[in-house]
Amino acid sequence: MSSKNTIGDRVNWLGCVASSLIACIAMACTQPALAGRACEDQPLKLSAVTNGLALAERTAKQLDASGAKVAVLARSGQNLREYGLRYSHLGLAYKDGDVWRVLHKLNQCGTDKASVYREGLGDFFLDTPFEYVAGIVPLSADAQQKLLPLLKNPAPVAGIHTRSYSMVAYPWAQSYQQSNQWAIETMAVAMGAEQISRESAQDWLKDHDYQPTELHLSTLTRLGARMTAANVSFDDHPNYLRFTGRIRTVTVDSVFAWLQRTGLGGAEWVVR
């Protein structure tokens, strides 16, 4: 995972607060379509830019108020309430001087590939989400100290990123890797996994009581998703789960619950 080839540094949209919104919209039109964004080449609406930047500004203030230098940051890009989930995507936020940045993995325009990106808070929320809300869980002092160097320079944990992507990747397999999964596997390596490998990271997560979310999907839903979406695969799930519609995957809600249960993170702060 070199900073040149697999980490894309994108526009820090929080910096656009003090500049022309029209200029920001023009810049947005040049950005690639990524996870949570439509693949059509359409300009962002002024309301989306305004709301996204407002949420980013409030989130930055809340992060500063927390006193933390590293936190897990979530957004609600899709409506997942039918599955009992509030958030759809998380990133690892860290303080870089006076600026908050987010390192996170994004699926590329509904394909079966994904990359890791570093961006500002504004761009993290520059979307048309289901709900303009952010979830923040500041990490423990020990977790912050161990994770911060790897967020600033992720090159040493290159082996944790798998480009093949499935939105419902099985937590204990390595064929695919979804965004939330990449984040907690990176955390596991930072916290003390024996080797810089996905298998070792997953062993550490098991030993430290991470429990994935189990979704209950009908056969029709699974078949429909697999036939129409390149970024959804079920073949990495054990047959005894997959054939009974029990799909286990890494969700933001399960990560937040795990962080609080184990003391790796503090209480959740919600920003609207």
Q: Which residue has the higher pLDDT, 48 or 137?
A: 137
Q: How many residues would you count in the chain?
A: 272
Residue 35 belongs to domain spanning: 7-271
Query: Quick one: DSSP state of residue 272?
Result: -
Determine the pLDDT at residue 175.
97
Q: Is 234 inside a domain boundary?
A: yes
CA distances from 157 to 167, 169, 187, 190, 232 (A): 22, 20, 10, 9, 25
Determine the pLDDT at residue 126.
80
CA distances from 186 to 153, 182, 239 (A): 12, 6, 27
Q: Is 1 inside a domain boundary?
A: no
Whether residue 71 has pLDDT greater than 60: yes
Measured between alpha carbons, how far is 212 from 13 in angstroms, rounded to an integer?
A: 32
Whether residue 130 has pLDDT greater than 70: yes
Q: Is 38 inside a domain boundary?
A: yes
CA distances from 66 to 71, 136, 141, 253, 258 (A): 9, 9, 12, 20, 20
pLDDT tens sequence across 249-264: 999 999 999 999 999 9
Q: Is 146 inside a domain boundary?
A: yes
Confidence of residue 231 (pLDDT cuts 50, 70, 90): confident
Of all residues in the chain, the percent with pLDDT exceeding 70 is: 79
Question: Which of 83-87, 219-223, 257-261 reaches the highest mean pLDDT?
Answer: 257-261
Q: Is 205 inside a domain boundary?
A: yes
Q: Is 51 inside a domain boundary?
A: yes
At a CB cut-off of 8 Å and minimum separation 6, what does 12 contact?
99, 101, 119, 120, 121, 122, 123
Assigned token pair, 44 = 């962002």
Confidence of residue 28 (pLDDT cuts 50, 70, 90): very low
Provide the number of structural domains found in the chain: 1
